[in-house]
Chain A
Amino acid sequence: MQQLHASEHFQVLTRAYDNQRTAANLSEKKLKPGKINAVHFGKLFMLPVDDQIYGGLLYAADLRIDGHKHNVLFVTTVNNSVYAFDADKLSAPLWYRSFNGNGRPTRNTEVGQACRIYRDFIGNIGIVGTPVIGPDHTMYFVTRTVEPSGTVQRLHAIDVTTGNERPNSPQVIQASVPGKGDDSDGARVRFNPLTENQRPALALNNGVVYIGWASFCDTRPYHGWMMSYDAKTLAQLGVFNATPNGNMGGVWMSGAGPAFDSAGNLYVSTGNGTYDQNDYGESLIKLEAKTLRVLDYFTPSNFNTLNDFDLDFGTQGPTILPGTNLLVVGGKEGKMYVLDTTKLGGQAPGDIQIPQVVQAVDATVRPTISHHMHNAIPAWRSSQGMNVYVWGESDFLRIFRLNDSKGKFEVPAVAIASILPPSGMPGGMMTVSADGSHSGTGILWAAVPRAGDANQMTVPGDLYAFNANNLDLLWSSNGAGDDPLNFAKGSPPIVANGKVYVASISNFVSVYGLRKKRSESQNLALKAHATGSSPCDPTQSPEKAINNSTEGGTADKWCSLAPSPFLQLDLGRTETVDRFVVEHAGAGGDDLNLNTSDFNIQVSTDGTNFQTVANVTENVQSITTHDIPPTAARFVRLNVLNLTGSPQPANIYEFQVFAANGSNAQVGTAKVSTGAVQQTSASSH
């Protein structure tokens, strides 16, 4: 296994912590189940960034930057931005870089035509795949920019202590393979930077960087691609196309990364696509290190059905179970396939050639809707045995335990959690923290949607902590001030050295940890005085929109049926503000159809002369983030507009205001300042 740069502290230098993709941090000494409760644990602070976060978070310990050692959190956004934050405190970024160059990120309206209006992403689509950090303090990631010549994808290698490009960086992504499939000139298929979505996490093993691609909403022509590059020279070493004589077969894995065996060979899964003599749609493929030659593969015997029903096999990345030759991976059928990495078995009727298939997601709970598995399956060898954790769509979180002597999982699940998430995608984004296999140390952390379906929409999220041995619920983020905002389905939580980092597509990373008292929020509204249009009910007064809580039901919001309702905050003094977050009806559990459609935000220094700084129409999201240029404001007003002639009621659970100063970790000109609402979405392809 790759030895990444040395530190005595735990680091997150690749997606899911290691190249087996266990998603298990076995070095966690501070966070123990007994301490994870509402009294001792919660949100500490939030780190603002300039756009949505789809890439996974990374973390380097004891990194020397500007002469000082820091534990550093690395964040990428779809605006092709990279941030390095001190991971332990609220402060301005240690460094920030935009990698747009002379271009700009792709916008969702420019891709995904197969969905007519593509909302798997909404807004920018720049850096999507999780970066990877090498032993020499180099971070690798892929940007996507629209330039006069067209869409360009580039592999970057940067110094994590400065953000500066390494020698030979960047490299434009280009490739071709022999083939007569989609996008072929009759002899070769070329990489298409417009239709290819760099979705899976990058990987690094033995000095080689690996990158994969899939599609935007199955918009053809596209293929699944994997490429390998020399980590030093950035020279391309190998190219693999999953369907050179066919189509599709994307390597998307919901953002997970390839897994590696001890020989350095890698494993990836593919989605819907051609399966025949030399095409590997709907398959788990073993590729030779560097050259990416196919060494072995598994294709489920019902691949035709999977293709016909859009039941991608490859919605998860593989997880190799430590200490075994077994690999687990799941797909849209909610089945967990258990494969032998030394003999994947190809394709055979009845799947008789593989160790086991388990219907891991219970289809009976919501029997008429989908039961997909996304991201990857965390694996932790507890004192009771090897646990894997499955939280598929529309089902409960479950533990399946490996019977080591049989090489198979015990069925049914050995533990089932009590939380049933809302109907829809994508299920849980999970990670485990534990002190080795020691009993009483394991915690399963999971982010899931709080309301709504995260496919083709943006929805609020929740963070849960469960005892990793029995799935007893320890803690949830529905306490006051602990809201992780919009659910980031591309970016699972990470745990490092006593803290839990949760990305959002509300342009924040929330940092959770042990606390002696409730942390002071960065939200200026919490110290404001609220007035506004008359409430629907006396309990639904304007103050309820600034009480730091969305969890109290209908009495926890400001509601007004006035013809043009308004909510006004007096911050008490003039502040320079640059961000607002509005939590609409759906954030508190109301019908999502009640989310505020048309509204604006105004600011004033005197309470009389107001300037409109954000104007929003046809919003459908439950939580919206609004960035503006730094602007002086003592009074902030949210006006619900009547643009259609039929008044909208106001249902505002929270109205948050953030200052553009050091305490808000602002990055000045690096920040998006369009005044446009950041209506963001989640993705399935």
Chain B
Amino acid sequence: MNKSAHFFRSIGCPGLLIAVCLLASDIVFAHQSSGPTEVTRTGRVITAPSDVAAAPPDAQVMPSGLAMKVLESGTGSEHPVSNDCVTVSFIAWKMDGSLFSTSTTMNDADVLCLNASIMGISEALQQMVVGEKRRLWIPEDLTFHEGHHHVQRRPEDEEPPHKDLTFDLQLLSILKAPPTPENLTQAPATATKTSSGLAYVVLKPGTGTVHPSATSKVMAHFTSWRSDGRIFETTVMTNHPALVSVASVPTGWREAITSMVPGEKARFWIPAALAFGEKPANRFNPPGDLVCEIELISVE
């Protein structure tokens, strides 16, 4: 089947009337912040903006080379920070005006975590508030830059096709990450240090009296940060604690958890040697020293 014809049929255009539909149809993207929007198949056809090829003079140009312009003001007051995740909608064009990519219109989809997104998008989002819509002119170094290619990229993969892109981006909501602690690179003087090199500060005393053993299973919330402040993992954003087998976690966590009692929340500075090491065998685990906040909910 001719794919262009298929698309127009999919939005309710009989084959003979495709040209008419092209002019009259009206695709609407569900990115309003005031609540769910019914998506109609009689929306307008997306056409590239007239300034798709280059940022206009009134665009804000950042030192990175990113240029952007506010299209619609937002309703929120808070800006996402680098550890946050967000929901967005977007349309992206190549500089020649051809459509490159769009978000889904479903409000349940297109969650972006800023630390894992295209650099230009991440930079722009940190300037935006909920509801705001901006047009971004993103140079190729901030789009498919090697450092932001997918984590499975292999040494001999072809280079991703570098290209400048123009985005219309709307911030729909912010999924807040736990606040980044201070002193990520060094435990404060007030921290208690153990003989292994672990250091900790109790943030909330516990209510229980029994410490987990090295073979216990515990229910816990936790967040781990790298030294540079990036969150490695957190159960807090999804608000769902995990059942942890103490025997199977790295040495630092093992010592940390067995030092706690139920109800306690503490922050631990874990040297690399007690975490995943400087060269983790699992490439998904972070190298180096880590800081971890653990809230021990129960011992199973």
Residues of A within 8 A of B (CB): 113-116, 217-218, 276-277, 294, 296-297, 300-305, 308-311, 335, 343, 345-353, 356-359, 362-370, 394, 396, 411, 416, 418-420, 422-424, 450-453, 455, 473, 478, 551-556, 586, 588-589, 591-593, 595, 620, 684
Contacts and interface: CB of A to CB of B under 8 A. Distances in A.
Given A394-B284, A424-B284, A591-B276, A368 B115 contact: yes
B277 A591 contact: yes
B214 interface: yes
A347 B7 contact: yes
B215 to A, nearest CB: 5
B156 A356 contact: no
Most chain B C-beta atoms within 10 Å of own C-beta, residue among A276, A416, A418, A684: A418
Contact of B284 (A114, A423, A551, A552): A423
Contacts of B215: 551-553
B3 A347 contact: yes
A114 B232 contact: no
A223 B94 CA distance: 27
Contacts of A620: 281
Contacts of A301: 101-104
20 contacts: A115-B154, A301-B102, A310-B157, A311-B150, A346-B3, A350-B105, A351-B104, A353-B10, A362-B238, A365-B233, A365-B235, A368-B232, A369-B116, A369-B151, A420-B242, A422-B282, A452-B282, A453-B284, A551-B248, A620-B281
B53 interface: no
A276 B248 CA distance: 48
Q: Looking at chain B, what size class is its interface with the partner chain?
A: 35 or more
B235 A349 contact: no
Centre residue among B6, B241, B276, B282 by max chain A CB count within 10 A: B282
A352 B105 contact: yes
B284 A364 contact: no
B138 to A, nearest CB: 13
Nearest to B162: A308
B240 interface: yes
A310 B244 CA distance: 32
A308 B145 CA distance: 11
The 10 closest A-B pairs by CB, nearest first: A592-B281, A553-B247, A346-B6, A367-B113, A423-B284, A589-B248, A364-B237, A418-B243, A353-B10, A350-B105
A539 to B, nearest CB: 10
A588 B46 contact: no
B1 interface: yes
A348 B10 contact: yes
A276, A347, A369 interface centre (most CB from chain B within 10 Å): A369
A452 B281 contact: yes
B282 A592 contact: yes
B104 A350 contact: yes
A272 to B, nearest CB: 11
B245 A551 contact: yes
B152 interface: yes
A364 B85 contact: yes
Given A352-B41, A368-B232, 11 more contacts: A305-B92, A335-B109, A350-B104, A353-B7, A367-B237, A370-B150, A423-B284, A450-B248, A589-B245, A591-B250, A593-B281
A358 B282 CA distance: 29
A304 B43 CA distance: 23
A313 to B, nearest CB: 13
A453 B283 contact: yes
A278 to B, nearest CB: 8
Nearest to B249: A589
Given A365-B237, A423-B233, A356 B108 contact: yes
Contact of B247 (A346, A353, A411, A551): A551
A450 B237 CA distance: 24
Nearest to B230: A368
B234 A364 contact: yes
B156 A115 contact: yes
Nearest to A295: B1
Nearest to A353: B10
Nearest to B214: A553
A418 B39 CA distance: 35
B272 to A, nearest CB: 11
Residue of A115, A297, A348, A586 with most chain B CB atoms under a 10 A cut-off: A348
Nearest to A345: B10
A552 B249 CA distance: 12
B239 to A, nearest CB: 10
A586 B233 contact: no
A311 B150 CA distance: 8
Contacts of B284: 366, 369-370, 394, 422-424, 453
Count chain A CB atoms within 10 A of each CB in B7, B106, B155, B279 and give the residue with the most: B106
Most buried by B among A294, A304, A620: A304
B246 interface: yes
B111 to A, nearest CB: 5
A309 B230 CA distance: 21
A430 B219 CA distance: 24
Contact of A368 (B10, B100, B113, B175): B113
A620 B177 CA distance: 35
Nearest to B161: A308
B10 A350 contact: no
Nearest to A115: B154
B54 interface: no
Contacts of B233: 365-366, 394, 420, 423
B150 A356 contact: no
B258 to A, nearest CB: 10
Nearest to B281: A592
A451 B247 CA distance: 12
A300 B91 CA distance: 13
A335 B111 CA distance: 10
A116 B9 CA distance: 45
Contacts of A351: 102, 104-106
B201 interface: no
Nearest to B248: A589
Given A308-B161, A352-B41, A453-B283, A418 B242 contact: yes
Contacts of B166: none
B11 to A, nearest CB: 6
A591 B279 CA distance: 10
A588 to B, nearest CB: 7
Given A352-B27, A552-B215, A553-B246, A367 B115 contact: yes
Contacts of A418: 219, 240-243
Contact of B7 (A302, A348, A396, A556): A348
B193 interface: no
B103 A302 contact: yes
Contacts of A451: 248, 282
B79 to A, nearest CB: 17
B46 A310 contact: no
B70 interface: no
A308 B101 CA distance: 11
A277 B3 contact: yes
B29 interface: yes
B180 interface: no
Given A302-B103, A396-B238, A553-B254, A349 B155 contact: no
B99 interface: yes
A364 B175 contact: yes
B197 interface: no
A452 B113 CA distance: 23
A358 B108 contact: yes
A499 B132 CA distance: 56
